[in-house]
Amino acid sequence: MKWVVGLIAAGLYLCLQSHVNAEPRLSRTLIERAVMEAKATVDSAYEYSRRESIERVKRNLASPADVLRLMKQPVGRGRIAVRAADYMDNTLTLIKSSLGNRQKRSINATDLISEEDLQIIADLTGCSARHRVPSCKTTPNLDRFRTSSSVCNNRKNERMGSSNTPITRWLPAEYQDKISLPKGWDPRRRVNRRFLPLVREVSNKILHTTVVDSDPLYTYLLTFFAQWTDHDLSFTPHSPVIRSFSSGIDCDKSCDRTEPCFPVEIPRQDPRFGRNSEECIPFFRSAAGCGSGNTGHLFGAPTVRQQMNTLTAFVDVGQVYGSDEAKARLLRNLTSDKGLLKVNTEYNDNGRELLPFEKKSTNMCATRARITGDNNATEVPCFLAGDERSNENIALTSIHTLGLREHNRLARALAKLNPHWNGERIYQETRKIMGALFQILTYRDFLPRIVGPDAINKFLPTYPGYDEEVDPGISNVFATAAFRFGHLMIQPFMFRLDEKYTAHEKYPTVLLHKAFFTPWRVVFEGGLDPIVRGMVARKAKLTTQKHMLTDELRERLFKFTAELALDLGALNMQRGRDHGLPGYAKWREFCRLSVPRNRRDLRRVMQNRTLANSLMDLYRTPKNIDVWLGGASEPLVRGGRVGPLFACLIATQFQKIRQGDRLWWENTGVFTEDQRESLKKTSLARIICDNTGITKVPQQPLENQPRSRFTKCSDIPAIDLSPWKEDIN
């Protein structure tokens, strides 16, 4: 392999030399050789990473960093798009390096490459295909049903809001080199005339707590409904490689910063420093999409690095159905014409359906022996669902399973109501109803409890109707900062309760870090019911400025072995820098909130002198405060569970999602008036009753209630499906 790459490189060098003093256009041969070498480099790195991942998982040596990276891997069409972007980026890097050595006047990769040549490179690497505008004229039923990828939701701009497109930006990116390098890539460079603090140091001094305040109003289900909703809206994949393209360094074995490695440095005074010879926590940059950086103008995109969203921007329950056609078909039971989703064929939950298993060569859910210490314990694969993160914790897995069961329950009911419908019609109608149900639950029950009544009245009053000019695309600041507010609402435990809603004697409550990637707990330890009871009858963690992030997430994230665990707070801040997010003060200005410019201003905003002083001691200026940390540090708004900045950003995003969705449940012609009236009767309580063995639940499962006020399932109204009965004449 090395001699092939060497020959290509030599040929490319000679070809480039002959073009140094020629016209700006490059020869087709030169471009093809550059693309060939770039593909060889990328493919080699991908293959090395694949082999290493398989080997580590097979030998039970997967580290917490491996788990995070594997969970954030692009799959399906997303992986194809990421690989194409890597091909193009490496081709341009190769040409820039060779030409730049001869013409020092060049600064950017495209200075010496014409737009025509860039287009040829895009075509040869596959980047053009990623941005090709689809034809919506031949797609059937576009006015009735969503496409799997939500392409053609907007008939004027067919890709708007669809999966595998760049995340939108509400403010310009702030990269170190103005193009793609993260803020803090070179720690010796100042930002706003100040050095950025290490994110782990910030985590230690601001986020650390050993005390947990329980929420007096809301249940643990609110926390995991937030995660469930997040996984419907955004997934920004990591680069699939663990080895630097330029140097060949393994990112897991080095603290060097070299694409795509952006490790989290551990401060010397940190207790972790030097443990197992570790001086950093491995961190991989989010993958760039085609049309990022210097090539953005080719695709009508800004000329800076953009990250990808492999999910659709709509509340469409994509975490149940998938966000592209291939994934959607994989999840369907096509052995019968009944419109059902696949279920597990090996195990069930007291006769109720479980998610099917994944069929992969790597099984990062083989954690039972490591956690229990029983080397003879039976392992099971990860569950398969519409979103790749369904196994992250058993609460999230349980909500995914409820989604699967509710689809199949509705599909069977519709089949009885309309025996003449075929499987495709049943599937599409059920998926459409499911989308509407979760739109209602999200906007009616969930969001008001998060952003508070003031933000609801300002941003999300009565539905104004569809506007095709509104871009529903998920914004970078929402996905990377604001909608990560729920991390501060996570308890250090995963509660499991018996039929009396008391501590389960056989399947006790477990520490959070022992509930990560443990589908075997669902299969072998009582199924869904104990976990769901724990969510509806135990309190969420209350976000307070004094007690922010439990050490189960800050010190033991994905910790299955003695390997150095991850720090979720530090990862959030590092991710914001990776994405070039502007600092806290600029986002306050974006939301037309008061902008702190000094220590005194920050004290006023935070309403907390000690916290403001700590932030200023670390950052020296409010401009540099990482937006996730700044937003998470604010006092809560009236009636909500976030501060003013996150209330604004979250409400703004959901306003755009609703108004920019042509198939929103309230939009004229999507459902009949009778169907809309029936859909309004939906409730999380009814979904739990219909899909578990639980017989009494809170009528409002997101709100804390004494057990004496729980309602019998027989007294909770069900959705009337009769408006979907189709008369045959």
pLDDT above 90 covers a percentage of the chain that reads 64
For the ranges 77-91, 271-285, 371-385, the one whose mean pLDDT is highest: 371-385
Cα gap 332→338, rounded to integer Å:
10
CB neighbourhood size of 376 (10 A): 6
**Residue pLDDT, tens place only, 423-475:** 999 999 999 999 999 999 999 999 999 999 999 999 999 999 999 999 999 99
pLDDT at 87: 86
pLDDT at 52: 74
* Catalytic position from the list 131, 208, 231, 487: 231
The reply to whether 126 and 255 lie within a common domain is yes
pLDDT at 297: 53
The reply to whether 218 and 122 lie within a common domain is no
Q: Choose one of 309, 335, 351: the last residue of a domain.
A: 309
Cα gap 478→347, rounded to integer Å:
38
DSSP state of 378: P
β-pairing, 214-219 vs 539-541, is antiparallel
The reply to whether 266 and 321 lie within a common domain is no
The reply to whether 251 and 384 lie within a common domain is no
pLDDT at 10: 44
In a domain, 407, yes or no: yes
The reply to whether 621 and 639 lie within a common domain is yes
Band of pLDDT at residue 252, cut at 50, 70 and 90:
confident
pLDDT at 23: 41
Instruction: Please compute the mean of the pLDDT values over residues 73-79 and round it to a whole number.
Output: 74
For 4-18, 412-426, 433-447, which range has the lowest pLDDT when averaged over its residues? 4-18
Q: Which of 428, 399, 430, 401 is nearest to 413 (CA)?
A: 430
Cα gap 305→183, rounded to integer Å:
13
For 162-176, 236-250, 257-271, 559-573, which range has the lowest pLDDT when averaged over its residues? 559-573
In a domain, 190, yes or no: no
The reply to whether 446 and 478 lie within a common domain is yes
pLDDT above 70 covers a percentage of the chain that reads 87
Count of domains forming the chain = 2
| Whether residue 247 has pLDDT greater than 80 | no
For 349-363, 394-408, 463-477, 600-614, which range has the lowest pLDDT when averaged over its residues? 349-363
pLDDT at 3: 40
In a domain, 502, yes or no: yes
Q: What is the dihedral of CA 302, 306, 311, 313, to 10 degrees?
A: -40
Cα gap 586→477, rounded to integer Å:
12
Cα gap 434→697, rounded to integer Å:
21
pLDDT at 146: 96
Q: What is the pTM of this model?
A: 0.91
Cα gap 461→327, rounded to integer Å:
35
The reply to whether 304 and 315 lie within a common domain is no
Give the gyration radius of the chain's Cα atoms: 26
Band of pLDDT at residue 292, cut at 50, 70 and 90:
low
Q: Which of 674, 675, 226, 662 is nearest to 433 (CA)?
A: 675
In a domain, 388, yes or no: yes
Contact 502, 537 (CB under 8 A): no
The reply to whether 205 and 56 lie within a common domain is no
pLDDT at 107: 38
Report H helices in 638-701.
Answer: 644-659, 673-679, 684-691
In a domain, 173, yes or no: no
- Which residue did the predictor score with more confidence, 130 or 578? 578
Structure tokens at 210: 């050993």
Cα gap 25→15, rounded to integer Å:
13
The reply to whether 474 and 575 lie within a common domain is yes
- Which residue did the predictor score with more confidence, 167 or 5? 167
| Whether residue 111 has pLDDT greater than 70 | no
Q: Burial, 614: exposed, middle or buried (Cβ in 10 Å; 0-12, 13-18, 19+)?
A: middle
For 91-95, 252-256, 613-617, which range has the lowest pLDDT when averaged over its residues? 91-95
Cα gap 450→486, rounded to integer Å:
10
In a domain, 219, yes or no: yes
Active site residue 19: no
Band of pLDDT at residue 681, cut at 50, 70 and 90:
very high
Task: Give the structural domain span for 68.
Answer: 2-132+239-309
The reply to whether 214 and 77 lie within a common domain is no
**Residue pLDDT, tens place only, 198-225:** 999 999 999 998 889 999 999 999 999 9
**Residue pLDDT, tens place only, 629-652:** 999 999 999 999 999 999 999 999
Phi-psi region of 300 (alpha: psi -120 to 50; beta: other; left: phi over 0): left
**Residue pLDDT, tens place only, 532-552:** 999 999 999 999 999 999 988
In a domain, 560, yes or no: yes
In a domain, 106, yes or no: yes
Instruction: Please compute the mean of the pLDDT values over residues 218-237 and round it to a whole number.
Output: 96
The reply to whether 550 and 633 lie within a common domain is yes
**Residue pLDDT, tens place only, 316-368:** 999 999 999 999 999 999 999 999 999 999 999 999 999 999 987 678 888 89
pLDDT, the chain, mean: 88
Instruction: Please compute the mean of the pLDDT values over residues 131-138 and round it to a whole number.
Output: 74
Q: Choose one of 309, 336, 364: the last residue of a domain.
A: 309
Q: The domain spanning residue 416 has which CATH number?
A: 1.10.640.10
Contact 726, 565 (CB under 8 A): no
Q: Which of 214, 219, 238, 228 is nearest to 68 (CA)?
A: 238
Q: Choose one of 309, 333, 364: the last residue of a domain.
A: 309
The angle formed by the CA atoms of residues 392, 397 and 398, to the nearest 5 degrees, is: 150
The reply to whether 294 and 333 lie within a common domain is no
Cα gap 713→695, rounded to integer Å:
5
